[in-house]
Amino acid sequence: MSVSIKASTGNPFARVLSVASYVPSRVIDNAEMCTYIDSSDEWIQQRTGIAERRWVGEEETVESMALAAAQRAVERAGIEGSELGAVIVSTVTYFHQTPSLAAKLAHQLGTNGAAFDISAACAGFCYGLGQAESLVRSGAARYVLVVGVEELSRFTDIHDRTTAFLFADGAGAAVVGPSEINGIGPVVWGSDGGQSQAISQTTEWSEAVANGQTPYLAMDGRSVFKWASGFITDATKQVLDAAGLTPDDLDVFIPHQANNRITDAILRHLKLPERVVVARTIKQFGNNSAASVPMAMDQLLTTGKAKSGQTALLIGFGAGLVYAGQIVTLP
């Protein structure tokens, strides 16, 4: 039977209302890192820009970090947790296959709204933001919480010199809601599953457990580096084009904190004006995957390096391989 199905009615525009982060307590400097791997402070700083990274302390978990960042973001947005119509968590280090961390988090925040986890690694926060913007504009949810959280220290072989110095822990969260003027540009996103082996779990959980082991992340750093400093620089240009902007319109650039040399390669390609503030939180926080973009955004805002109302370009990229980016007005 042909019927007339009512379409959802939403909001003309969406924006990021708030951002917040949680920084884990354990500081692992390069000197300590070099007790686990054959490396040097000089090599790590020159090749990546990392001076130290944060790992969870005994009391900290993926859940506790996500909750702390989320509570701050909800408070800063000036809404109640019960008003969240959807909670999206991006993580690859929540080791419960089911239920989702998002459903638990939603309950802890006092909402029965939609809740789901996404697996998009270091692009996860930007994937979540793209979905949040669509949900708010479609009317499927009025307020959406997006969380990027990782405990990569638990998913990394600390004696593997190809990954141990890079990966770190942390959480970042943002609330997206309706707006009179547009505050989030079109998401530019995609994947290249042909390169799925470039960053991947060493073995399946069941196989690892049967052998009394823990699976870890393995990475072909050179391939990822090549892809990120080539293809991703083009994707970054597409993010600007999609929003109808040019590099001159930007105030802030927040790339996934993968490696300062990748950030430099993107900068060379984009030819950003000197005045544009560039996130370099990798120096203190390392590469914490889905948490890196919102943590960097929060750090720039709380230290006064970036200001509310400024225009920022976000780009995330990583295991999949996947990527996503968009322009946002900073909360």
Is 122 catalytic? The answer is yes
Residue of 30, 259, 260, 287 with catalytic role = 287
Residue of 122, 126, 259, 260 with catalytic role = 122
Site residues (vs ligand UT7, CB under 6 A) = 37, 39, 43, 47-48, 122, 161-162, 165-166, 199, 221-222, 224-225, 228, 258-259, 262, 287, 289, 318
Q: What letters, b where the CB count within 10 A reaches 16 and e where it falls short, cover 24-50? A: beeebebeebbeebeeebeebeebbbb
Q: What is the crossing angle of helices 41-48 and 260-270, to 10°?
A: 30
- Give least dist CB 229 to ligand UT7, A: 9
In the complex with ligand UT7, the residue whose CB is nearer, 86 or 199, is 199
The CB-nearest residue to ligand UT7 is 221
Is 126 catalytic? The answer is no
- Give least dist CB 123 to ligand UT7, A: 9
- What is the separation of C-alpha 243 from the centre of its chain, rounded to a whole number of angstroms? 20
Is 107 catalytic? The answer is no
Torsion angle defined by CA atoms of residues 150, 153, 154 and 158, in that order, rounded to the nearest 10 degrees: 150
- Give least dist CB 264 to ligand UT7, A: 12
Q: Is 313 helix (H, G, I), strand (E, B) or coil?
A: strand
Largest CA distance in the chain: 70
- Give least dist CB 79 to ligand UT7, A: 32
- Give least dist CB 273 to ligand UT7, A: 25
Spatial neighbors of 255 by CB under 8 A, at least 6 apart, are 236, 262, 263, 266, 278, 279, 293, 314, 315, 316
Rounded Cα gap, residues 8 and 138, in angstroms = 6
Q: Which residues are catalytic?
A: 122, 256, 287
